[in-house]
Structure 1
Amino acid sequence: MEKMALRPIDNALPITPERLKKHVKVVSAPIQKQSEFGVNDENKAPLPPSSTIDYVSSEDLKPVSDPVSMIQGLIQGLDSKDWTEVCESLNNARRFALYHSSLLLPLLEKVMLVVVKAMKNPRSALCKTAIMASSDIFNAFGDQLLDSTDAFDNLLLQLLLKASQDKKFVCEEADRALNVIVNSMTPLPLLNKLKPYVSHANPRVRAKAAIYISNFVSKMGMEEMSEFGLISLVQMAAELLNDRLPEAREAARRTVISIYEAYTTGSEEHKQPEEWHNFCQSSLPPIFAQSMVKITASFQ
């Protein structure tokens, strides 16, 4: 049994330098190809070794020379499999938004769907171009975008997600787009759109939503706050005061101050400190009411 189990070492195939060289060549070829082109499947066309995208500011975009003819091919370009062509088409969509918005309006929902899809793309250049397109669309159409409910909701969520990520140049562009929303759309409907995101599972998304809600509330008077629901607004701010991230907590404090200033300028009765205390105590659990009063104490 022992003799059968042990094989003479001389029976092993010799490992010659030539044999080793052939073995290494077989293994290294696909590795080199993957590293150079970023693809694993030899049947797939390799990506270009270098593709550069110019980020054109809105001020540098020019009108389309023949907009009626060009609008026909816009959607086809946006649906291209070539990501560089999609970037070019997104810049054309921006030109239409800025200079020929009436021609773009019938295609707006389709364009917004493509913008959302491009934002989800792992290519940062395509993602940033899509975010820049969203800014120009917000500036051009404002509250009209609210008619495209699903498309706008998806776009808003993607901007909050992109503004919350670690890629700085994408994050900064998404922040700029969200600021355009604040400046180009009516506060009340946008506040209703943002409200669900203060309960989002991602703490960074909650913080971003809290920041932009604070910006909206700072522009609202007592009448608009009451229309939204003053108690609902106070409760939302109170919950964010205990959020994990300091950005969310600071935004909540600013929201509380804006509510307090609007509340106390509404009438002579509301200017009395005890009236604000009573309102907080009747609208919130005691520990939250105490936090609200403490924040506004220096303004009384």
Structure 2
Amino acid sequence: MALRPIDNALPTTPERPKKQAKVSVPIQKKASEIGVTDENKAPLPPSADASVDYIPSENLKPIQDPESNIQSLVEGLDSKDWVKLCESLNDARRFSLYHSALLLPILEKVMLVLVKAMKNPRSALCKTSIMAASDIFNAFGEKLLNSTDSGAFDQLLLQLLLKASQDKKFVCEEADKSLNAMVKSIAPLPLLQKLRGYVNHSNLRVRAKAAVFISNSVSKMGREEIKEFGMVTLLQMAVDLLNDRLPEAREAARSIVLSVFEGFKEDEENEEEAWQSFCQANLPLIHAQSMVKVVFPSKV
């Protein structure tokens, strides 16, 4: 009886058909959808920003025929193309430095564009807008408070404090420069009215940054200005900051107290007793003791 040929391979059970693997395809968003809503988004790759130059203020040149180009600046600030917007922001810097009278009528619009650009996840656009803010502070100073809606300035100040408080070093450093330009160009009294609310901000880094620039402003004030703003008001601002979690905030608070004392002691002969009496008369005892300890650390 003839045998059937046997395959060399061992018999196997038939395999179940495999399911097709799912492939997730990232959705590309339009540039206009990326930009301004969430400043906590991860930044875009650095290569995307490579075409933008960060031009120092001293290297910016005047605009040729600025009267004819102011309208094109307005149009450029509305651009959805982020590279074009960076170019327009640099033009706004040139207008602020060399043709500020032409920029003044649209200054509020420019400030709101800066706020929007600072929220953008593109590092190049964010940094360019901060640099523009510095030039605008230097060019306009207190006109920013007098010639624009206060809300525009408040939004700009908040964004600068937020950017100065983040971990991205080159953005943080640029925001610090811009805030320093603000302190140098705007008188302390109106600026303190804007900054004082941020010493109670929920973000401890924003509190610390606000404390630093309040301290810088107070250090510029003479005795009469300190009295006009209110010695007690300044001490009350410093009270909570003295116990803040960040050393930067605590050091700024001590500086504020010492500045207030410098203005106070010019009217007093027995400085130590007068300071202690003043603090106890205007602050809760525990806070008064803190104020005395800052000025006379060996006496409490």
- Answer whether TM exceeds 0.5 for this pair: yes
Structure with higher helix content: 1
8 A contact 1:270–1:276 mirrored in 2: no
8 A contact 2:163–2:172 mirrored in 1: yes
Deviations 1:96-148 (A, max 9, x none): 00000000000100000000000011111100000000000000000000022
8 A contact 2:114–2:130 mirrored in 1: yes
Q: Which portions of structure 1, spanning 4 or more consecutive aligned residues, are displaced by more than 6 angstroms?
A: none
Structure 1 segments unaligned to the other structure (5+ residues): 1-8
CA RMSD of aligned residues (A): 2.4
Corresponding position: 1:165 with 2:155 = no
**Quick one: distance in 1 between partners of 2:297 and 2:48?**
58
Deviations 1:244-287 (A, max 9, x none): 1111011001111111111102x2x3553211100011111111
**Quick one: distance in 2 between partners of 1:10 and 1:237?**
79
AA at the equivalent of 2:23? V
Could you tell me which of 28, 32, 52 is aligned with 1:39?
28
TM-score normalised to structure 2 length: 0.85
Corresponding position: 1:106 with 2:95 = no
Q: How many residues align?
A: 272
Corresponding position: 1:176 with 2:177 = yes
CA 1:99–1:275 in 2, change beyond 3 Å: closer, same or farther? same
8 A contact 2:49–2:124 mirrored in 1: no
Aligned to 2:195: 194
Aligned to 1:285: 284
8 A contact 1:235–1:283 mirrored in 2: no
**Quick one: distance in 1 between partners of 2:271 and 2:213?**
30
8 A contact 2:219–2:256 mirrored in 1: yes
What percent of counterpart residues are identical?
63
8 A contact 2:89–2:132 mirrored in 1: yes
Aligned to 1:85: 84
Could you tell me which of 20, 27, 37 is aligned with 2:23?
27
**Quick one: distance in 1 between partners of 2:269 and 2:237?**
21
1:50-89 superposed matches below 5 A? 50-52=48-50, 53-89=52-88
Structure 2 segments unaligned to the other structure (5+ residues): 1-12, 34-43
**Quick one: distance in 1 between partners of 2:151 and 2:269?**
40
Higher relative contact order (CA 8 A, sep 6+): 2
Corresponding position: 1:135 with 2:134 = yes
AA at the equivalent of 1:245? L
Corresponding position: 1:242 with 2:243 = yes
TM-score normalised to structure 1 length: 0.85
Corresponding position: 1:152 with 2:153 = yes
Secondary structure, counterpart of 1:175 in structure 2: helix
8 A contact 1:115–1:130 mirrored in 2: yes
Tell which deviates more after alignment, 280-289 or 122-131.
280-289
